[in-house]
């Protein structure tokens, strides 16, 4: 059994050391082989830190782009780097919003489904602390996507997931999203192809350093385009 982690990094110099250390500690504890594929964008010190990490662990690989690809294209690129011999693919945020120690919970649930979503719980971590506006935007987006695409998942926009490699190979080449809406597109396309989906609660925490790359305007436009392409 082997799991391939695909992690997108855009100017994450402030957090990459802590994130990568915690991720690798968690992966090493799992009863599986692993590899980590970083897709690095930007011009800060992130690339040099990842290069140093790769020298200490041959299972760490990276693909660098000085010009920003956008999360959608970076995700598609990263999924294309997955070792064909891997059984599972892990994706998660690199800004420490997601807790690497909880990967084991998603791995356990992956025994029963093709895709496991780390569902942000209202009673755990940052979600309950978010401003009303941000909570409303997130809730509204999930409500619209659930109803348009008849999804049972409660957190369609969460990027903390484990997929079967079979599911990834089936939908990877079809991806067209440019930005954050790629997380929803992956799930929608998988559901349309009949892959099973489940979810487990996760703790969603505030990033300790650095700045969020999320643009509500860009994401909003992306979700509208996605609705027309896949649902309307």
pLDDT for residue 67: 92
Q: Compute how many other C-beta atoms are within 10 angstroms of the C-beta atom of residue 18.
A: 13
Q: What is the pLDDT of residue 147?
A: 74
Q: What is the DSSP letter of 137?
A: H
Beta carbons of 225 and 144 less than 8 angstroms apart: no
Mean pLDDT by 10 residues, the chain (232 residues): 97 95 96 97 95 96 94 96 97 92 97 95 52 59 75 88 98 92 94 95 74 58 75 60
pLDDT of residue 123: 47
Dihedral, CA of residue 60, residue 40, residue 82 and residue 208, to nearest 10: 70
pLDDT attached to residue 120: 82
Specify the pLDDT at position 15.
Answer: 94
The answer to whether 202 touches 100, Cβ cutoff 8 Å, is no
pLDDT for 175:
96
Assess if CATH 3.90.550.10 describes domain 2-230.
yes
Q: Where are the alpha helices (DSSP H) in 70-174?
A: 71-79, 103-109, 132-149, 165-171
Of 148, 142, 231, 151, whose CA–CA distance to 191 is shortest?
151
CA pair distance 123, 139, nearest whole angstrom = 15
| pTM for the predicted model, two decimal places | 0.88
């Amino acid at each position: 059994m082997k799991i391939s982690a695909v992690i997108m990094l855009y100017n994450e110099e402030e957090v990459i050391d802590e994130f990568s250390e915690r991720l690798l500690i968690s992966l090493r504890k799992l009863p599986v082989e692993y590899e980590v594929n970083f897709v690095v964008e930007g011009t800060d010190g992130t690339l040099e830190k990842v290069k140093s990490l790769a020298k200490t662990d041959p299972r760490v690989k990276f693909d660098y782009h000085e010009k920003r690809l956008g999360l959608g294209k970076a995700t598609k690129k990263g999924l294309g780097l997955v070792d064909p011999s891997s059984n599972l693919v892990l994706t998660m945020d690199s800004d420490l919003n997601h807790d690497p120690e909880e990967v084991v919970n998603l791995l356990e649930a992956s025994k029963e489904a093709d895709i496991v979503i780390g569902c942000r719980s209202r009673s755990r971590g940052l979600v309950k602390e978010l401003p009303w506006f941000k909570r409303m935007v997130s809730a509204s987006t999930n409500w619209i996507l659930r109803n348009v695409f008849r999804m049972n998942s409660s957190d369609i926009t969460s990027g903390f997931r484990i997929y079967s490699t079979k599911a990834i190979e089936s939908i990877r080449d079809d991806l067209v999203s440019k930005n954050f809406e790629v997380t929803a597109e992956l799930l929608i396309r998988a559901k349309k192809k009949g892959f099973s989906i489940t979810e487990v609660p996760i703790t969603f925490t505030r990033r300790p350093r650095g700045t969020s790359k999320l643009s509500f305007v860009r994401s909003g436009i992306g979700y509208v385009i996605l609705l027309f392409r896949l649902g309307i």
